[in-house]
Chain A
Amino acid sequence: MWTVWTVWMVWMVCLVPTTSEALCTEDDGYKVRLSIKTALGGDAYEWNESEMFFFKATLAFAMRTYSGGEQYDVSNILVCDETLRVSFVFVVTKPSNTSELVPRTEVENAIKKSRHRINSAFLLTDQTLDFVGINPTLAAPIQYDTPPWLIAFGVVMGLVCAGIVALLVSTFLNKKRSKKSADEEEAGRGNGILCESIRGKDGLFNQGLVDDDRLTKL
Chain B
Amino acid sequence: MEKESRPSWDNPMQFVLACVSYAVGLGNVWRFPYLCQMHGGGGFMIPYLIMLFVEGIPLFYMELAIGQKMRLGSIGAWSAISPYLGGLGIASVVTSLYLCLYYNVINAWSFWYLFHSFQAVLPWSDCPVNSNRTAYLEECEVATPTQYFFFRETLNISSSIDENGGVHMGLALCLLLAWLIVYLFIVKGVKSTGKVVYFTATFPYVVLIIYLIRGVTLHGALNGVKYMFTPKMEQLANPQTWINAATQIFFSLGLGFGSLIAFASYNHHNNNFENQAITVSLINSGTSIFASIVTFSIYGFKATFNYESCLERMRLLLMNTFELAEDTVHIDNISFWITDLNRTQPEQIAAIASRIETCSLEAELDTAVEGTGLAFIVYSEAIKNMPAAQLWSVLYFFMLLLLGMGSMLGNVTAIITPLRDFKVLAHSLSNETLNGLVCLFCLLLGFGFTTRSGNYWFTMFNEYGATFSLLFIVLLEIVTVSYIYGLKRFEKDIEDMLGRRPNWYWKIMWVAVSPLLLISLFVFYILNYIQGGAPTYQAWDKDVVREELTQIRLGLRSDSEISCVNLCAYSHIEMTVTRKRGAIPFGLRL
A-to-B contact residues, CB < 8 Å: 33, 35-38, 83-87, 135, 137-142, 148-153, 156-157, 160-161, 163-164, 167-168, 171, 202-203, 205, 213-214, 216-218
The smallest beta-carbon distance between B432 and chain A, in angstroms, is: 6
Chain A CB within 10 A, most for which of B174, B188, B319: B319
Partner of B1, one of A171, A205, A216: A205
B6: interface (CB < 8 Å):
yes
The proximity string for B residues 174-218 relative to A, scoring 1 for CB distances below 8 Å and 0 otherwise, is: 100100110110011000100000000000000000000000000
Query: Are B320 and A171 in contact, with the CB atoms below 8 A?
Result: no
Query: Are A83 and B268 in contact, with the CB atoms below 8 A?
Result: no
Bound form: Cα–Cα A84–B323 in Å: 7
CB-defined contacts of B183 to chain A, threshold 8 Å: 164
The smallest beta-carbon distance between B308 and chain A, in angstroms, is: 13
Query: Are B325 and A85 in contact, with the CB atoms below 8 A?
Result: yes
Query: Are A164 and B320 in contact, with the CB atoms below 8 A?
Result: no
Bound form: Cα–Cα A135–B183 in Å: 53
Query: Are A135 and B116 in contact, with the CB atoms below 8 A?
Result: no
CB-defined contacts of A205 to chain B, threshold 8 Å: 1
Bound form: Cα–Cα A37–B128 in Å: 29
With A163-B184, A167-B188, A168-B432 known as contacts, the answer to whether A148 contacts B119 (CB < 8 A) is: yes
CB-defined contacts of A137 to chain B, threshold 8 Å: 133-134
Query: Are A37 and B133 in contact, with the CB atoms below 8 A?
Result: no
Bound form: Cα–Cα A43–B192 in Å: 60
27 A-B interface contacts by CB (under 8 A)? A33-B320, A35-B326, A36-B326, A85-B320, A85-B324, A86-B326, A87-B323, A138-B135, A141-B129, A149-B115, A149-B116, A153-B177, A156-B111, A156-B115, A157-B173, A157-B177, A160-B177, A164-B180, A164-B184, A164-B187, A167-B184, A203-B1, A213-B269, A217-B268, A218-B6, A218-B7, A218-B268
Query: Are A138 and B180 in contact, with the CB atoms below 8 A?
Result: no
Query: Are B1 and A138 in contact, with the CB atoms below 8 A?
Result: no
With A37-B327, A85-B325, A218-B8 known as contacts, the answer to whether A153 contacts B174 (CB < 8 A) is: yes
Query: Are B184 and A140 in contact, with the CB atoms below 8 A?
Result: no
B126-140 CB contacts (< 8 Å) to partner A: 128-129, 133-136
Query: Are B323 and A135 in contact, with the CB atoms below 8 A?
Result: no
B302-352 CB contacts (< 8 Å) to partner A: 316, 319-320, 323-327
CB-defined contacts of B325 to chain A, threshold 8 Å: 84-86
B422: interface (CB < 8 Å):
no
Query: Are A138 and B133 in contact, with the CB atoms below 8 A?
Result: yes
With A138-B134, A148-B118 known as contacts, the answer to whether A214 contacts B269 (CB < 8 A) is: yes
B82: interface (CB < 8 Å):
no
B-to-A contact residues, CB < 8 Å: 1, 5-8, 111-112, 114-116, 118-121, 128-129, 133-136, 170, 173-174, 177, 180-181, 183-184, 187-188, 192, 268-270, 316, 319-320, 323-327, 432
Residue of A nearest to B134 (CB): A135
With A167-B187, A218-B268 known as contacts, the answer to whether A153 contacts B173 (CB < 8 A) is: yes
Query: Are A167 and B323 in contact, with the CB atoms below 8 A?
Result: no
Bound form: Cα–Cα A87–B326 in Å: 11
Residue of A nearest to B71 (CB): A213
Top 7 nearest A-B pairs (CB, nearest first) are A149-B115, A83-B323, A84-B325, A218-B8, A152-B115, A37-B326, A85-B323
With A85-B319, A152-B118 known as contacts, the answer to whether A135 contacts B326 (CB < 8 A) is: no
Partner of A167, one of B5, B114, B192, B326: B192
CB-defined contacts of A83 to chain B, threshold 8 Å: 323
CB-defined contacts of B1 to chain A, threshold 8 Å: 202-203, 205
Bound form: Cα–Cα A83–B319 in Å: 11
The smallest beta-carbon distance between B184 and chain A, in angstroms, is: 5
Residue of B nearest to A44 (CB): B326
The smallest beta-carbon distance between A208 and chain B, in angstroms, is: 16
CB-defined contacts of B270 to chain A, threshold 8 Å: 214
Query: Are B180 and A140 in contact, with the CB atoms below 8 A?
Result: no
CB-defined contacts of B128 to chain A, threshold 8 Å: 141
CB-defined contacts of B180 to chain A, threshold 8 Å: 157, 160-161, 164
The smallest beta-carbon distance between B451 and chain A, in angstroms, is: 20
The smallest beta-carbon distance between A30 and chain B, in angstroms, is: 14
Query: Are A149 and B118 in contact, with the CB atoms below 8 A?
Result: yes
The smallest beta-carbon distance between B169 and chain A, in angstroms, is: 11
Bound form: Cα–Cα A168–B432 in Å: 8
